[in-house]
């Protein structure tokens, strides 16, 4: 069998106009993206994925991932609604606010394994989400109301969480929750956080300690030597276990990525298989699919001001394969994804709203990325607004049986190429740095362990007094909406009706429907 042919999909081949993707004022020129037809083919295999990525100036923009969305979750950009309903794998950027409804909860996953989780009737804002000149990350989160959980890596990047006039900074890898429902309360279940208002308050809160304020007299606070249990602690722990399961099959496939501890690699290890293809290098394909499976069969184009439309995959693993690297179709196998430019600095140029496609099967058409805003019917008056989500739904040529979390791995496929039989690589555990987040922050025994919670916090507040809260746009105020329901363990409708407890880490996530995925390869 000869080398596969490759196709390059460039807007200049389509309309004579090159695509410039503006990310926060920075132009990523010469990007390669989906087109509606195939163009010139080469007889030799394409160069490694790194050589096929668009030349891009270094940029400091970050997009992080909504790794789990359940129920009603809205995404706002400032005061304007960006997306009425969030989706798993939706990118979120600096300034975006997440607001959950009475049945909503959402998890934000960062590059180093850190997570922020938001329970029903709650809200957070990603007030800062960027990179410094040396590529390190800066993350600042505003807790606007309700109950939120934070598991932050103290070894990588800078993190802070703000509520009212107070700023929380982890001094090491830390796990804590912020409850603003009534009397504001910070509870630390692992590590140490520093709390400061920039004036009179400056103290450290350690493992199994709580800091509580009096909503009627915010100048008064109390440090308790225990942590009150909350029914939503169980949900936070269950999410930890779900992520821990994904890293059980960690491999060396991400070794050359430059960011091997990004939890998005765990998704690929768990849901698929890695191959070493002669002339190409490391390649990945999902388990349980055949040659007719279409990675771009369904998904959505999501509109981001200043960026344009970014692909949002419905696949559980659909983050890296649609924001870096390249897809290629092999006649004897089907679609495979090759990682490239998935890191930062010398190993990548940051995040892209789409990936790259090399070769496609005969007669195949890739979904076209909207160049400009797609306008829906104006709801009020003649002014049209960009359509936030443009759905892509088309039948896959092959039924898929993606692995569900906690289920056995489907039989791996081998294929013939260049006179060789290519077998999937054996799982080789990727050695990670120590510390809670170095283990993906999910395998830590101390992580949200229910045993750490004390039975109660001492009644009443201490006599320590500081200056009263300074009211402002971010100051705490009791929520006006219905109070949060207790966590009952009920799962989302598409899942098994049982939500696992910590002692039985068999978390059952929903099986993706259709041949989901599809993005704009760059």
Q: β-pairing, 420-422 with 415-417?
A: antiparallel
Chain segment 215-225, per-residue pLDDT in tens: 888 678 999 99
For residue 443 the two structure tokens come to 């395998």
- pTM comes to 0.77
Is 90 inside a domain boundary?
no
**Average pLDDT rounded to a whole number, residues 423-433:** 67
**Average pLDDT rounded to a whole number, residues 302-306:** 89
CA-to-CA distance for 308 and 266, rounded, in angstroms? 28
Of 278, 341, 365, 275, nearest to 44 by C-alpha is 278
Q: Tell me what pLDDT residue 3 has.
A: 37
Q: Tell me if 334 sits within 8 A of 285, measured CB to CB.
A: yes
Chain segment 473-522, per-residue pLDDT in tens: 323 343 343 455 666 554 433 332 222 222 222 223 332 222 333 333 33
To the nearest whole percent, how much of the chain has pLDDT over 90? 40
- Computed over its alpha carbons, how large is the radius of gyration of the chain? 24
Chain segment 1-43, per-residue pLDDT in tens: 433 333 333 222 222 222 223 333 322 223 333 433 332 232 3
Same domain, residue pair 167 and 133 = yes
Total domain count, the chain: 2
Question: What is each CA distance from 339 to 256, 387, 391, in whole angstroms?
Answer: 9, 31, 26
Chain segment 369-415, per-residue pLDDT in tens: 887 776 655 555 555 666 889 988 886 555 556 777 778 888 889 99
CATH of the domain at 159: 2.60.120.1440
CB atoms within 10 A of CB 397: 15
Q: Tell me what pLDDT residue 60 has.
A: 53
Domain ranges, residue 208: 110-242+444-452
Q: Tell me what pLDDT residue 298 has.
A: 83
Same domain, residue pair 197 and 225 = yes
Same domain, residue pair 194 and 310 = no
To the nearest whole percent, how much of the chain has pLDDT over 70? 64
Q: Where does residue 40 rank: exposed (0-12), middle (13-18), buried (19+ CB within 10 A)?
A: exposed
CA-to-CA distance for 172 and 207, rounded, in angstroms? 11
Is 53 inside a domain boundary?
yes
Q: Tell me what pLDDT residue 251 has.
A: 78
Q: Tell me if 176 sits within 8 A of 184, measured CB to CB.
A: no
Q: Is the pLDDT of residue 227 over 70?
A: yes
Q: Tell me if 357 sits within 8 A of 9, measured CB to CB.
A: yes
For residue 183 the two structure tokens come to 């009397």
Mean pLDDT lowest for which of 96-110, 128-142, 471-485?
471-485
Question: What is each CA distance from 196 to 32, 160, 166, 168, 466, in whole angstroms?
Answer: 47, 11, 5, 7, 11
Is 256 inside a domain boundary?
yes
Q: Tell me what pLDDT residue 408 has.
A: 84
Q: Is the pLDDT of residue 108 over 90?
A: yes
Of 270, 394, 311, nearest to 89 by C-alpha is 311
Same domain, residue pair 327 and 406 = yes
* pLDDT averaged over every residue in the chain: 72
163 vs 10: which has the higher pLDDT: 163
Of 123, 114, 173, nearest to 148 by C-alpha is 123
Q: Tell me if 303 sits within 8 A of 318, measured CB to CB.
A: no
Strand partners for 337: 284, 327
Same domain, residue pair 448 and 411 = no
**Average pLDDT rounded to a whole number, residues 315-328:** 92
CB atoms within 10 A of CB 149: 26
Helix 233-246 with 264-271: angle, nearest 10 deg: 60
Same domain, residue pair 318 and 351 = yes
376 vs 56: which has the higher pLDDT: 376
**Average pLDDT rounded to a whole number, residues 258-263:** 79
Same domain, residue pair 179 and 214 = yes
Q: Is the pLDDT of residue 188 over 50?
A: yes
């Amino acid at each position: 069998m000869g080398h596969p042919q490759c196709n390059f999909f460039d807007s200049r081949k389509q309309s004579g106009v090159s695509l410039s993707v503006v990310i926060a004022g920075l132009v990523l020129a010469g990007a390669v993206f989906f087109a509606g037809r195939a163009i010139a083919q080469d007889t030799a295999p394409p160069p490694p994925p790194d050589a096929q990525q668009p030349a891009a100036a270094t940029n400091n923009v970050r997009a992080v991932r909504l790794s789990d969305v359940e129920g009603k979750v809205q995404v706002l950009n400032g005061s304007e609604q960006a997306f009425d309903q969030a989706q798993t794998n939706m990118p979120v950027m600096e300034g975006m606010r997440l607001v959950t409804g009475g049945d909503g909860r959402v998890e934000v996953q960062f590059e180093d394994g850190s997570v922020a989780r938001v329970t029903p009737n709650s809200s957070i804002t990603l007030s800062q989400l960027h990179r410094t000149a040396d590529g390190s990350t800066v993350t600042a989160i505003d807790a606007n109301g309700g109950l939120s959980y934070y598991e932050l890596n103290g070894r990588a990047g800078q993190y802070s969480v703000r509520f009212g006039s107070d700023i929380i900074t982890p001094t090491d890898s830390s796990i804590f929750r912020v409850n603003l429902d009534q009397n504001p309360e910070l509870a630390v279940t692992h590590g140490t956080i520093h709390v400061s208002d920039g004036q009179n308050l400056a103290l450290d809160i350690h493992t199994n300690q709580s800091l509580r304020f009096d909503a009627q007299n915010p100048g008064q606070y109390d440090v308790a030597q225990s942590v009150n249990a909350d029914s939503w602690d169980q949900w936070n722990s269950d999410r930890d276990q779900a992520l821990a399961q994904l890293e059980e099959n960690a491999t060396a496939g991400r070794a050359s990525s430059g960011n091997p501890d990004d939890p998005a690699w765990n998704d690929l290890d768990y849901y698929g298989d890695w191959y070493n293809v002669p002339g190409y290098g490391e390649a990945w394909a999902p388990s349980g699919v055949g040659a007719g499976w279409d990675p771009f069969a369904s998904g959505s184009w999501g509109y981001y001001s200043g960026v344009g439309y970014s692909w949002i995959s419905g696949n559980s693993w659909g983050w890296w394969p649609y924001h870096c690297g390249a897809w290629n179709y092999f006649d004897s196998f089907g679609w495979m994804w090759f990682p490239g430019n998935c890191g930062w600095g010398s190993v990548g140029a940051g995040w892209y709203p789409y990936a790259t496609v090399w070769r496609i099967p005969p007669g195949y058409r890739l979904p076209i990325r909207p160049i400009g805003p797609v306008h829906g019917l104006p709801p009020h008056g003649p002014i049209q607004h960009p359509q936030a989500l443009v759905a892509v739904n088309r039948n896959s040529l092959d039924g898929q049986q993606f692995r569900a979390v906690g289920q056995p791995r489907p039989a791996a496929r081998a294929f013939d190429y260049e006179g060789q039989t290519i077998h999937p690589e054996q799982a080789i555990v990727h050695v990670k740095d120590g510390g809670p987040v170095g283990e993906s922050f999910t395998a830590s025994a101390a992580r949200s362990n229910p045993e750490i919670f004390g039975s109660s916090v001492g009644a009443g507040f201490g006599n320590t007094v500081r200056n009263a809260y300074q009211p402002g746009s971010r100051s705490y105020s009791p929520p006006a909406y219905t109070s949060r329901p207790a966590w009952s363990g009920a799962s989302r409708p598409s899942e098994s009706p049982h939500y696992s407890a910590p002692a039985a880490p068999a978390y059952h996530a929903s099986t993706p429907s259709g041949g989901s995925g599809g993005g704009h390869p760059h």
